[in-house]
Structure 1
Amino acid sequence: MSALADELVGLPNIGGRHSLRRQVADALRAALVTGKMRPGVIYSAPALAEQFGVSATPVREAMIDLVNDGLIEAIRYRGFRVVPLSTRDLDELIEMRELIEVPAVGRLAGSITDEATGTLRALADEVMTEAVKGDVSRYLDADRRFHTQLLTLNGNRMLVQMAHDLCNRSRLYGLAKPPERAELVACALEHGRLLDALIRGDAGKAEESMRRHLGHVRSWT
């Protein structure tokens, strides 16, 4: 039987420009990444709302978003529970990402515009900045935005959505061992190498960088 959460998750304070629902959802995803929300524990919307200092409504809406992403499940009359993943589940998710993302970046070799290059370079720099800081949550967020922007250049919306969903499911279950700063930096370097290969038109090197990058991600889960 699942344990009932008897203390609130240490979530970051929210406020600012995005909708409350989006802010809460982002904070919950960060809690999943860092392992503050754990499989087998039931979390109630009212308790989390108290932690945030908001009403329960945006918290319930945000948790439904995570249910739709397959990250948590609703437990009738009790709350929400993190969906556990097995080692096999994670291996299969990473394999699916490789099947989709590796050839997708290869097709972009030699075709990236100067404008797209500037945007991707700025995102790669942001990824590296967060890696140097050792901020895993912000690193993963910047990394996700880099990959989304890159895959969008293929012009296939379904591919981008599928890759986004797989990325969410493979990352948001807590890290088996939080990566050291050096590991984050090593992984962040792949973004620059990938971008350089694409600019040179070297599809093979671009695919190699993407495959190596996904290998780093798997080693942390």
Structure 2
Amino acid sequence: MKHDAHAAPAETARVPAQTRSEETAARGSGYAAGTPSARGEHTHSERPIPQPRPAVQRASVRGQILDALRTALVSGELAPGEVYSAPALGERFGVSATPVREAMQQLALEGAVEVVPNRGFRVVQRGARELAELAEVRALIEVPVMMRLARNVPAERWAALRPLAEESVRVAATGSRATYAEADRAFHRAVLALAGNEQLVQIAEDLHRRALPLRGARADLMSDAAEHSALLEALIAGELDAVRALVTGHFADAR
């Protein structure tokens, strides 16, 4: 970009930008049409954009603690009905109480814990009825979507999800509830993402988190994972009756 020989030195970058009346006057004189500002380019009168602050690193720590707390909840390390304080958990994870408190507040929004004033956070204990209700809501959302996708998504796109189904089977064999919960979430997210509706995916994921913990026995995890593989093969083959039976049964088993 060329500059006029009499242009002000770089120190004038702090000068405020033109007012609306000045800008209008410049356009009216014909001067603005050929200036860099008229083409959307930078000018010396622009205010500098402040650099991001180091708070990004703290957000990263909070995210790591959030993941660790979710794992501890699913594995049963943080027991339902028990109250945990942010300082104690911070000491446990080797961080200050602040990122723990922020992560716990997010878990409270998700319904995994509840705030106990002046004490900390209590892990929510879900009864059989509540888990059955959550499974029913998931079925009401996911079954119709799955049937619509079964009619419209080509076989090759379903086949591309095989690695996720296979991963859930592999993880289930380890008996780790926390690791399987992530593999299960990834499979369901990938399936629902084919609908192209991010709001649907987010709501389904929220329900998935609320429905945890999963049934604990290794055999139960393996049975759940086997349903993923069977469902995917039915989708690839275009067997709509089998798809309906499998996806309906998948949520019925969770009740």
TM (norm. structure 2) is 0.71
Aligned to 1:204: 241
Aligned to 1:4: none
Given the alignment, which residue of 39, 57, 69 partners 1:28?
69
Aligned to 1:88: 129
Residue 184 in structure 1 maps to residue 212 in structure 2? no
Task: Give the superposition deviation at 1:40.
Answer: 2.8
Task: Give the superposition deviation at 1:191.
Answer: 1.1
Counterpart AA for 2:180: Y
Moved beyond 4 Å, runs of 4+: none
Task: Give the superposition deviation at 1:118.
Answer: 4.9
The SS at the match of 2:173 is: helix
Aligned to 2:37: none
Residue 79 in structure 1 maps to residue 125 in structure 2? no
Residue 214 in structure 1 maps to residue 251 in structure 2? yes
The SS at the match of 1:189 is: helix
Change (3 A) 1:128 1:65: same
Aligned to 1:139: 180
> Larger C-alpha radius of gyration, 1 or 2?
2
For the residues of structure 2 that align with 1:141 and 1:214, how far apart are their CA atoms? 17
The SS at the match of 2:152 is: coil
Given the alignment, which residue of 65, 89, 100 partners 1:59?
100
Aligned to 2:166: 125
Over the matched positions of the two proteins, sequence identity in percent amounts to 48
Q: Using CA pairs under 8 Å that are at least 6 residues apart, name the structure with larger relative contact order, 1 or 2.
A: 1
TM (norm. structure 1) is 0.81
Residue 48 in structure 1 maps to residue 86 in structure 2? no
Counterpart AA for 2:217: P
The SS at the match of 1:73 is: strand
Root-mean-square deviation over aligned CA pairs: 2.1
Task: Give the superposition deviation at 1:107.
Answer: 1.0
Residue 106 in structure 1 maps to residue 144 in structure 2? no
What runs of 5+ residues in structure 1 fail to find an aligned partner?
1-17
For the residues of structure 1 that align with 2:179 and 2:244, how far apart are their CA atoms? 25
Residue 156 in structure 1 maps to residue 197 in structure 2? yes
Counterpart AA for 1:210: V
Given the alignment, which residue of 210, 220, 234 partners 1:169?
210
